[in-house]
A and B are shown apart, each in its own frame.
Chain A
Amino acid sequence: MVLIDKTARRHRWDTRFAPYGYVAPYFLIFGVFGLFPLLYTVWVSLQDRNLLESDAASLVWFDNYAKLMADPYFWNAMGNTLSLWLLTTVPQILFALFIAQLLNRKVRTRTLFRMGVILPNITSVAAVTIIFAQLFGRDFGLINWVLDLFGAGNIDWQAGTATSHIAIAVMVVWRWTGYHALIFLASMQAIPSTLYEAATLDGANGRQQFWRITVPLLRPQIIFSTIIATTGNMRLLAEPLLFNPGAAAATGGSDRQFQTAALYLYEQGFTNYDFGYSSAIAVVLAIATVIVAGLGYLVTKRIRTE
């Protein structure tokens, strides 16, 4: 009796606690690498703290945030961030849909094409940015050379606000479109062909089928892609940083014309060593990202079958 009781109890314990044990690694890792840094950043953002002198830090509560709200360079950076978000996310999703549609046909060597679109994504950001910065060079850049053939050369891409945003957006879109295209392609293949057959019988043309069947049925993936792209594009750092190499890299151009919020955070943290202020920027940026991702969700959620 006692023996059975013991095994039964052990079994009960096992079924009760083992699942926690199985999921524990995830929560442990998330706790150490996700939650703790997040909370610690919030904690640092409430301090007046020099990067190199953590012992001398003092609690100042919301001073950093008050300073931030009155800092024109922060708002400039937030403006650039939103502008770049728009210039990268929208084309990314649209191009990805278009490419997925093209790849969803019976073309020869389509596996090759499908593999090909993901290639930009597996390249190193740094290498790509350095090459794009050369393509967009003022004096010897390929793009200016081509534009020159059409009589519109010699653009100083880094100097202007619009031109620099376009150049950076091109890098990001080039890098991420293929990734989203593959996600869309996978779900396109799951759409039953009977839907298209029925539509064809009803006389719908290809364009109508795309906008009224494919896109609405891809809604969950479009929402997913928009959110993923938003969280990535709201914290662009490497592209604007490496687009302007040299000692002034962290300012994002001579007049901060392409300094993103993440880059401003980097400047404050690692050039000015103002770790508290830099953390406050991180917290505000995280909140802004959640809001913008929410907006993106609301917009894409409206995609419906008519």
Chain B
Amino acid sequence: MRPKALVLGCAALATAVVLSGCGSDTASGGKTKLTIGLFGNFGYAELLKEYASTHPDVEITDRTASYSDHHKNLAAHLATSSGAADIEAVDTGYINQFKATPDKFVDFNTKGGGELKDRWLAWKWEASLSKDGKQIGYGTDIGGLAICYRRDLLQNAGLPADRDQVAALWPTWQDFMAAGKTFQAKAPEGVKWFDGGPTVLNAIVGQASTGYYDKTDKIVVGDNKEIKAGWDLVVDGVQSGLSSKLLYSTPVWNTGFKQGQFATVTCPAWQMAKIKDQAGPEAAGKWDVTSVPGGGGNWGGSYLTVPKAGKNVDKAVELAAWLTAPEQQAKVFKSAGLLPSIPKLYDDPSIVDYKNPYFNDAPIGKLFTDAAKKLNPQYQGPKAGDIQTAIGNAMQRVEQGKQNGEDSWRQFVGDVQK
């Protein structure tokens, strides 16, 4: 039994080695196979079909993982120089970590990227540029900021539902919390003002002039009065019972949309696709979008990179450039709501006049292009994504009643400065 099993094992192993050695990149019927690794919803399904129809020599497979799995797998694949897709999406929170090792990626500047440079917002282009001037990623979308809210829930609690009147409720985050207290007094049981402290806090951090890092890559969040003030405000909101205490992008948070557990959620442009996916068609028209308290800010947005270990680097670069081109970004904005990183689109009437039927015909074109124009880009340091996770954990400790605001803040600052 044993030797036989061993032989079988060897055979299986040998087969596996042979298959993996030539499986992923070989052409089938003369076609080049390209894979594209994504997370969340990039709105690429239709575009990939379109590209394949105009490029019959290319066959594209997309694979989508969760946000954190995607980036951790990418790191593992880069470390071993195998297994990465031909094109890999990277989020703003991770781009700094990856651009620290630019040699793992194709430098777009050597592939004609320099001529395309002016397509993008200058800060978007710079954010994926390595210290030695290599461009590892073409920008897809930016986040921008808005607030998505449930019209019906606000109305039932005696608040206005009209988006201009709602915006007038909260010029500042203090006003936002005050409106929350009014709402909460009349809200039905199980329904809270906002989804969770970390979501609100991320928006406030995104609006700050300085974030977690200063421009020399030093972590300064411990002394950042703007962020600490935002922290205190959100802690107060949590302790006043305004929070559903759900961490964003988790299954329970998804359920929260379905169950209508909260009335508002911080809405970077990409959030709209998530809401639509999670709340489902039965909630169409219940959600609406309005402007965010405070000033302009950004949360999220992504890049397409091409790992160097890929075998079809040139075809992959071509596809990445196509997917991030103005025409395609405009289409993605209309289909999935992702805000283009292309400034010339902000004055394009087909974008500016766009209204989203799911969100009660909210003029999201106007709203988000205004937000994008106002946006004052904040410098992101090497581990901004991890610090964002840590501050989310810290806020959850307060929400779960494990620590008070001060202790949790102190632990957070100590953790990130290690």
Contacts and interface: CB of A to CB of B under 8 A. Distances in A.
Contact of A159 (B78, B190, B259, B400): B400
Interface stretch (B148-156, B246-254, B345-353): B246-254
Nearest to A53: B101
Contacts of A87: none
How big is the A interface, by class? 20 to 34
Contact of B400 (A25, A26, A156): A156
A208 B395 CA distance: 55
A201 B259 CA distance: 64
Contacts of B229: none
B252 A273 contact: no
Interface in B247-275: 247-253, 255-256, 259, 261
A247 B255 contact: no
B165 interface: no
A74 B224 CA distance: 29
Contacts of B334: none
Nearest to A272: B386
A259 B163 CA distance: 43
A246 B403 contact: no
Main secondary structure on B side of the interface with A = helix
A14 interface: no
A247 B402 contact: no
A54 B78 CA distance: 11
A234 to B, nearest CB: 22
B79 A246 contact: no
Contacts of A156: 400
A245 B255 CA distance: 13
Nearest to A140: B255
A130 interface: yes
B276 interface: no
A271 interface: yes
A26 B237 CA distance: 62
Contacts of A250: 68, 72
A275 B78 CA distance: 13
Interface string A142-158: 00000000000000100
Contacts of A26: 6
Given A53-B101, A139-B261, A273-B97, A25 B6 contact: yes
Contact of A255 (B72, B248, B392, B393): B393
Contacts of B261: 139
A130 to B, nearest CB: 7
B251 A133 contact: yes
A292 to B, nearest CB: 28
B66 interface: yes
A29 B13 contact: yes
A51 to B, nearest CB: 5
B57 to A, nearest CB: 33
B104 interface: yes
B75 A52 contact: yes
A52 B79 contact: yes
A131 to B, nearest CB: 11
A54 B101 CA distance: 11
B250 A271 contact: no
A232 B297 CA distance: 47
B72 A270 contact: yes
Contact of B392 (A133, A134, A247, A273): A247
Contacts, number: 88
B82 interface: no
A22 B249 contact: no
A214 interface: no
Interface string B59-78: 00000001110001001101
B10 A29 contact: yes
A271 B394 CA distance: 17
A54 B104 CA distance: 12
B38 to A, nearest CB: 16
A271 B402 contact: no
A230 interface: no
A271 B397 contact: no
Contacts of A245: 66, 250-251
Which among A22, A53, A156, A248 has the greatest number of chain B C-beta atoms within 10 A? A248
Contacts of B248: 246
B53 interface: no
Contacts of A189: none
Contacts of B68: 246-250
A245 to B, nearest CB: 5
Given A254-B393, A254-B402, A247 B67 contact: yes
A260 interface: no
Contacts of A275: 79
A296 interface: no
B259 A248 contact: no
Given A139-B252, A247-B67, A271 B72 contact: yes
Which among A22, A50, A254 has the greatest number of chain B C-beta atoms within 10 A? A254
A248 B392 contact: yes
A137 interface: yes
Contacts of A137: 252, 255
B393 A251 contact: yes
Nearest to A134: B251
A53 B396 CA distance: 33
A138 interface: yes
Contact of B79 (A25, A54, A272): A54
Interface in B396-418: 396-397, 400-403
B249 A130 contact: no
Contacts of B182: none
B3 interface: yes
A250 B67 CA distance: 13
B389 interface: yes
Contacts of B249: 246-247
Contacts of B256: 139
Interface string B6-44: 110110010000000000000000000000000000000
17 contacts: A22-B3, A51-B79, A52-B75, A53-B101, A137-B255, A138-B252, A246-B68, A246-B250, A247-B68, A248-B68, A248-B247, A248-B393, A250-B68, A250-B72, A254-B394, A270-B76, A273-B75
**CB-CB nearest 8 A-B residue pairs:** A254-B396, A159-B400, A246-B250, A52-B101, A270-B72, A254-B393, A254-B397, A51-B79
Given A245-B250, A248-B389, 6 more contacts: A29-B9, A29-B10, A29-B13, A139-B190, A246-B250, A247-B385
